[in-house]
Amino acid sequence: ETLVTRVFNNSPELLQYYYWLFPFGFGYTIFMVLDMYTWQLQKAVLSNVLKEVMFRVFVTALIALTMFGVIKSFSTFIGLYAFVYVGLMLFLFGYLALQGHLHFTLTISKVTRRFKNKIRTLVGFVWSGGLIFSLSSVIDTLFIAAILPNGIGAAGIFTFGQYMTSLIQAPQRAVISAATGPLSAAWREKDYDRIHRIYQQSSINQLLFSTAMFSLIWINFEDGIATFELQPAYLDAKWVFFYFGLTRIIDMGAGVNSQIIGTSSFWKFEFTSGLILLGLMLPLNFFLTRSLGMYGPALANLISFSVYNVIRFVFLYRKFGMQPFTRKTGYALLVAALCFVLAYLPFREYTGLHWLLIRSLVFLVPFAILTIKLNLSADVLPLWATVRKRLKGR
């Protein structure tokens, strides 16, 4: 049997709702095209809010309406869910049109004619690299649906762990969108010191956020499921979250290496490293899913992305002498570990909403204090000064 046949045999619901993939895919595709355009217009905040916040708000609203019986059937839920990105796409399209940023023409410019071969080469590599990265991010779910007996059920629990991990990854796209423009300008001006500063600052900022968010979710994972009366089966997603969470910490702690390479004259290496990632993901996902069940793909992601980031680290270090880590990197990891122990060990046996809050505060307060006192990030102190100024003003 082929992979597709196995997926449909183990997950018959896919056949029932197959055609809803088309409006979802259409809305998502056009939205991402407009998203890239807003980046070029330096309006990435709007598209990030739509993509990271509003999408989740709409999905949460659909889930709530289903829970309270307003949405009567799962089929209706799927139909509405399929059009969420269509709505976001129309909103972004309308905004750009009202701002006068949309221009359509059928005339090929002189610049396009002159550089068409280079444009095709660049677009081909970028598109292929994006396709490879997208495949590597969904192949795990396909293998679970195809290999495990209860494909959709196991994939649902696995996806829950992935969604929890997406909270860790929340600021990554904002950092990428903020860094891409300055990196391009720095390469053009051959300002290597500026590139190195962006590399290191993006690393420590993302490392601080990812370790803090990972710790908060981990110390409250089981209690959160019990307190909010979620299905007990979701407890099986804890170790899925663990492996994916470590993957995100490594990936975010490595800084904006992808954007540094992609905006340099060595942008073809982006495609090459993507091939290496996919070459690792495919066999690891297959064999680890068969041996470890739903935990296998999560472990495969951890191994693959670790190797992937090591390759990029070595490439940038050998080519330009740049690396993202400083002494503060070690301090950040120690601070996160210390605060984790303080919040987890004394309170792990207690359950209830107030204990969720207590554990979170016991972690966050010393983490914030130590981050500020040790000056772990150059961006934290100015932010803290602004907050203090506003509080005093009141």
pTM of the entire predicted model: 0.81
Evaluate whether 66 touches 77 at the Cβ level (below 8 Å): yes
Q: Which residue has the higher pLDDT, 386 or 47?
A: 47
Is the predicted pLDDT of residue 261 greater than 90, yes or no? yes
**Is there a contact between 315 and 309 (Cβ–Cβ < 8 Å)?**
no
Name the least confident of 90-99, 137-146, 321-330: 137-146
CA distances to 161, 224, 357 from 227, rounded to whole Å, are: 17, 5, 12
As a whole number, mean pLDDT of residues 356-383 equals 91
Q: How many CA atoms lie within 13 A of 223 on its CB side?
A: 20
Q: How large a percentage of the chain has pLDDT more than 70?
A: 93
Confidence of residue 391 (pLDDT cuts 50, 70, 90): low
Averaged pLDDT, 343-372: 95
Torsion (CA) 119, 23, 146, 245 in degrees, nearest 10:
70
Q: Would you give the end-to-end CA distance of the chain in angstroms?
A: 68
pLDDT at 307: 96
Is the distance from CB of 359 to CB of 344 less than 8 angstroms?
A: yes
pLDDT value, residue 287: 93
pLDDT tens column, 6-23: 555 555 666 788 889 899
Ranking 102-106, 237-241, 298-302 by mean pLDDT, the lowest is 102-106
Q: What SS3 string covers the chain?
A: CCHHHHHHHHCCHHHHCHHHHHHHHHHHHHHHHHHHHHHHCCCHHHHHHHHHHHHHHHHHHHHHHHHCCCCCCHHHHHHHHHCHHHHHHHHHHHHHHHCCCCCCCCCCCHHHHHHHHHHHHHHHHHHHHHHHHHHHHHHHHHHHHHHCCCHHHHHHHHHHHHHHHHHHCCCHHHHHHHHHHHHHHHHHCCCHHHHHHHHHHHHHHHHHHHHHHHHHHHHHHHHHHHHCCCCHHHHHHHHHHHHHHHHHHHHHHCCCHHHHHHCCCCCHHHHHHHHHHHHHHHHHHHHHHHHHCCHHHHHHHHHHHHHHHHHHHHHHHHHHCCCCCCHHHHHHHHHHHHHHHHHHCCCCCCCCHHHHHHHHHHHHHHHHHHHHHCCCCCCHHHHHHHHHHHHHHC
* 286/45: higher pLDDT: 286
Q: In the predicted model, is pLDDT for residue 345 greater than 80?
A: yes
Q: Is the pLDDT of residue 313 over 80?
A: yes
**pLDDT computed for residue 93 by the predictor:** 95
Residue 34 pLDDT exceeds 60? yes
What pLDDT was estimated at residue 387?
63
Q: What is the mean pLDDT of residues 233-252?
A: 95
CA distance 176 to 190: 20
What was the pLDDT predicted at 384? 67
Dihedral, 131, 267, 40, 30 alpha carbons, nearest 10: -10
Report the pLDDT value the prediction gives residue 9, as an integer from 0 to 100.
59
171 vs 168: CA distance, rounded Å = 8
Place of tokens 């601080």: 208
Question: Residue 5: what pLDDT?
Answer: 56
Angle (nearest 5°) at CA 11 between 146 and 65: 130
pLDDT of 160-207, one tens digit each?
998 899 889 878 877 887 888 889 899 999 999 999 999 999 999 999
- Name the burial class of residue 324, with classes exposed (0-12), middle (13-18) and buried (19+) by CB atoms within 10 angstroms of its CB: buried
Mean of all residue pLDDT scores within the chain: 88
Q: What's residue 47's pLDDT?
A: 85
Q: How far apart are CA 152 and CA 155, in angstroms?
A: 5
User: Would you say residue 262 has pLDDT above 80?
Assistant: yes
